[in-house]
Structure 1
Amino acid sequence: MGLLPENKRKKPMDTPRTFFIWGATMSGKSYLAERFPNPFFINTDDNAEKAGLPNYQLKNVKNSDGTLKQSVIDQLNELMLELGTTKHTFQTVVIDVIDDVVSLIEQAVIDEHDVKDLSEIGYGKGFAQVKATLMALILELKALPMNVVYVSRIDEKTDAAGDQVEVPSLKTKYYNMVNGNADLVVKTRRVGSNYTRQLTDKRKQYERSQITDQHILRILENIPGVFPRLPKAPVTKPTTKTTK
């Protein structure tokens, strides 16, 4: 007993905590992720290491005969347990890049079943195992008392009108799983020496007054479209006196 809250409406205090950042190579994706408070990077390349950021390099570890010694699935489970149960000073976990994490999970399942492709695992069990593993990761990340940032690359596809459009490179079925648990989706872009950020999706309309984390607020202020535009102050024309 005692699980039910008081039947009383509370003042909304709504700080977004889960972010999906996507864009081309060297468009500022990781740079934006670094701006989040006290980030820990679960990395699939050595970018975080080169930048001197706290990170864990995710990879399938194999024995000398090619068999799987430690899979990324086991590593992710251990990381989630440590982040959720031990004392640490990290406030943000960054998955950089989620595209590679999914590929590594697929490879781990393939190696576990000693096949060359997921389709060789009967009755769709291989695909189901990958999907279940990714969803478990997403839910565990969401349950952490931390900010979560997913980073993805960019791809192109043809829309219904036959035009080429830019989209996250994460496969659609996996993107829908991640995006369904994200608060904001941000596209980064580099034009010459300039870097821009564009909001491409959001869970709701956010209000500045409801953002309790000032660090997150400063980040959001630099992403056009997150907040409604502030009304322009009216311009008052100077009055001129006429002399008789």
Structure 2
Amino acid sequence: MAISLASLRRTTATQPPRLLIYGPPGQGKTTLASEFPAPVFIQVEDGTPAGLEIDTFGHLTDFPSVMEALVSLDEEEHDFQTVVVDSVDKLEALVWAQTCADNKWSSIEDPGYGKGYIATEAVWREFMELCNVLRTKGMNVVFLAHSSIERFDDPTTASYSRYDIRLHKRALALFQDEVDAILFLNQDVTTKEEKQGFGKEVKATGGGKRWIYTEGRPSFVAKNRYGLPHKLFYELGNGFAQMAPYFPNTQAPAMQAEAAE
């Protein structure tokens, strides 16, 4: 078909969101993901937070098992509305192992010059394509990841440390390109100076409040395509309810009573 001005159409976002939620351990990433509508978990990481009940395929320890779980969601009848991968940094080790098996390498470093990490992209894309198939069928896609503190060399100023997603840079670039939002979940931290002897000591304090950060800052990576506020106060049970009004074709659930009071 010939392309011309007559072929122009107006469009807008209509598909369910693809999100990556990351942060330090114990901040509630898994709990937040469980608030999404009818979630099913692809658990690559062993263990579930105490008091939380989830639907899961169990602890998956190899890449083919992860793909089989995703295929079952594609091919079999079910009522799940969200697929959660917990976590993609643990999945990375399985991707490396699969890449090594495909190429008969003893380790991902075998081919040298970073070629092993380049080869992982084909395996990652196979995984991502299947997640996207589920999205086209109406499922939300939520990836969970841990954070690491990395040195960032900013060409416009001095280098500094920031929170980043615990993935190799090639996998990280793929996720940054693919997902609609990267959300950083962390507690608020303030500092104060206290006099200690002849000097001053800086101590970290904070009220223990957790925030969902949706826009990047020098100290952490984040983004979103939905016009979310730059941060949202995260109260357990109400995280998804706060974000849902910004997602395409998504009905927001009622906020829990504690948050409404």
TM > 0.5 fold call: yes
Correspondences of 1:15-164 after superposition (within 5 Å):
16-48=16-48, 51-60=52-61, 72-110=62-100, 115-121=105-111, 126-144=116-134, 145=137, 146-160=139-153, 161-164=158-161
- For 2:184, which of 174, 183, 187 is the aligned residue? 187
> Once the two structures are superposed, what CA deviation does each residue of 1:119-164 show, in whole Å capped at 9, x if it has no partner?
2258977434422111111121012121100111111112222211
Q: Is 1:196 the equivalent of 2:193? A: no
TM-fit CA distance, 1:194: 1.8
Greater CA radius of gyration, 1 or 2? 1
Q: Which residue of 2 aligns with 1:239?
A: none
Tell me by how many angstroms 1:217 deviates.
11
User: Aligned letter for 1:103?
Assistant: A
8 Å Cα contact 1:36-1:215 kept in structure 2: no
Aligned to 2:233: none
**Which is bigger in relative contact order (C-alpha 8 A, separation at least 6)?**
1
Give the share of equivalent positions with the same residue, in percent.
Answer: 21
Deviation at 1:205, TM superposition (A): 4.1
Query: What TM-score does the superposition give when structure 1 sets the normalisation length?
Result: 0.71
Q: Give the C-alpha shift of residue 190 in structure 1.
A: 2.3
Amino acid at match of 2:144: V
Counterpart-to-counterpart distance in 2, 1:131 and 1:59: 21
| 1:215 paired residue among 252, 256, 261 | 252
SS at structure 2 position matched to 1:105: helix
Aligned residues: 204
Gaps of 5+ in 1: 61-71, 223-244
Question: What is the one-letter code of the residue matched to 1:215?
Answer: A
Alignment-mate amino acid for residue 140 of structure 2: N
The runs of 5 or more residues in structure 2 that have no matched partner are: 189-206, 215-221, 230-244
Contact persistence 1:48–1:55 (CA under 8 A): no
